[in-house]
Amino acid sequence: MKNCVIALLASCLVAFFPRTDGQFTNGISSDPTVFGNVFSYWTKLRSGWDLTRGDRAGSITLPVPENGPITIQPNKSALVIIDMQNFFLHESLGGDPLGRAIVPTTVNLIHAFRAVGMPVIWTNWGLTEFDLVNMPPAFLTGFSRDGTSKTTFGSDMGTVVVPKSDPSVPATSKTQGSNMTIEAGRTLMRGSWNAQPWGALHTEQVNGVAKGTDFYFNKNRLSGMWGPGTPMQTWLQDNSMTTLFFGGVNIDQCVWGTLLDSYYKGYDVILVDDISATTSPASATAMVNYNAALNGWRTNSTDIMGALQKAAKSH
Ligand SMILES: *[C@@H]1O[C@H](CO)[C@@H](O)[C@H](O)[C@H]1NC(C)=O
Ligand SMILES: *[C@@H]1O[C@H](CO)[C@@H](O)[C@H](O)[C@H]1NC(C)=O
Ligand SMILES: *[C@@H]1O[C@H](CO)[C@@H](O)[C@H](O)[C@H]1NC(C)=O
């Protein structure tokens, strides 16, 4: 009886969503080149993969060296930028120079995504008082700056002096000659200066969100996609996204955590290795590079930018 109901349901779904490619039996592919169910499937091509799930209008093919190329549906694909925040990158807070070095490349890729109408998603640490109450000891310990709980999440980071030209200076800062003294704010709390995107990325994020090309989501763990749901996941579902490109810091921690949870939840995952960095040993990046290519694909911005720029011209 249960099986009959499932079969009936599946055939109704198939009737509602007819597909030209692949054959589906009880909603599951019976075509050896099609992997998945009637709602979510990949088609294996003679060379590479079609990830459009039958929605090929305006699709873009990207050259991926390993197991590619991949054909994506731009309406369902997004670039996810993770943790490129002052806390992790700013010079005055002892941030990572490797993370700062990938910013120009990141900005170029953001512009290329916007030019073809693909959304840019920012997911950053942005804690609330409630998050602090619920924060597990392992995270509080990991983010302590002096080994005590006084300097972990939510602690005041005091003031920092930055050049007036620093694009991440807030309107509330006090002027002091050519420099500005600003409140760094409480560690990784929502709305604080230390939780803002670093340098030029701050302007990119603020303008992109204002224009509606970009979307910003706070997170309260390494992953922006953990647990039964996050604001980012809700947005992806509401907007029928299927395919996610990832970059940011650290490649083996927050980027990897977000990529892995997205993979577990059924999204196509693509690591963009030249817009990702880390302070961890090279072995950590090697593990991510190896596994990202198994979970999905690994590529770089130069390889995808050419295809996107060509698509933007015909847009
Ligand atoms: C998808 O993209 C095409 C352009 O390729 C556009 O015309 C269409 O309106 C988009 N569909 C949705 C649902 O956004
Ligand atoms: C990007 O990947 C291609 C191989 O597909 C490689 O030739 C090129 O050097 C890479 N570029 C960067 C900036 O990593
Ligand atoms: C501005 O700050 C820098 C260090 O960040 C310092 O070397 C310089 O002397 C400061 N300039 C002024 C006018 O305070």
**DSSP letter (8 states) at residue 58:** T
- CA of residue 114 to ligand 1 center, whole Å: 14
| Residue 59 Cβ < 6 Å to ligand 1 | no
| Residue 75 Cβ < 6 Å to ligand 1 | yes
Residue 227 φ/ψ, nearest 5 degrees: 70, -170
What pLDDT sits at residue 38? 92
pTM comes to: 0.90
32-131+195-313: CATH architecture? 3-Layer(aba) Sandwich (3.40)
What pLDDT sits at residue 5? 52
Among the bound ligands, name the one nearest to the CA of residue 315.
Answer: 1
- CA of residue 179 to ligand 3 center, whole Å: 6
Rg (CA), the chain: 21
State the Cα–Cα distance between residues 149 and 141, nearest whole angstrom: 7
What pLDDT sits at residue 17? 52
Among the bound ligands, name the one nearest to the CA of residue 161.
Answer: 3
Ligand 3 neighbours (beta carbon < 6 A): 161, 177-179
Q: Which two tokens stand for residue 171?
A: 């309107």
- CA of residue 177 to ligand 3 center, whole Å: 9
What pLDDT sits at residue 16? 52
DSSP-derived secondary structure for 200-252: HHHHHHHHHHHHTSEEEEEESSS-SS-SS--HHHHHHHHTT--EEEEEEE-TT
Domain assignments of the chain as residue spans, ordered by start: 32-131+195-313
Among the bound ligands, name the one nearest to the CA of residue 166.
Answer: 3
- CA of residue 75 to ligand 1 center, whole Å: 6
What pLDDT sits at residue 167? 74
146-178 burial by CB neighbour count: b if 16+ within 10 A, else e? eeeeeebbbbebebbebeeebebbeeebeeeee
What pLDDT sits at residue 181? 86
What pLDDT sits at residue 20? 55
- CA of residue 241 to ligand 1 center, whole Å: 13
List average pLDDT for each run of 10 residues in the chain, which is 315 residues long.
52 50 86 94 97 96 94 98 97 94 98 97 98 97 96 96 77 65 95 95 96 98 97 98 98 98 98 97 97 97 94 81
> 62, 89, 94: which is closest to 77 by C-alpha?
62
Which residue puts its alpha carbon closest to atom 10 of ligand 3? 179
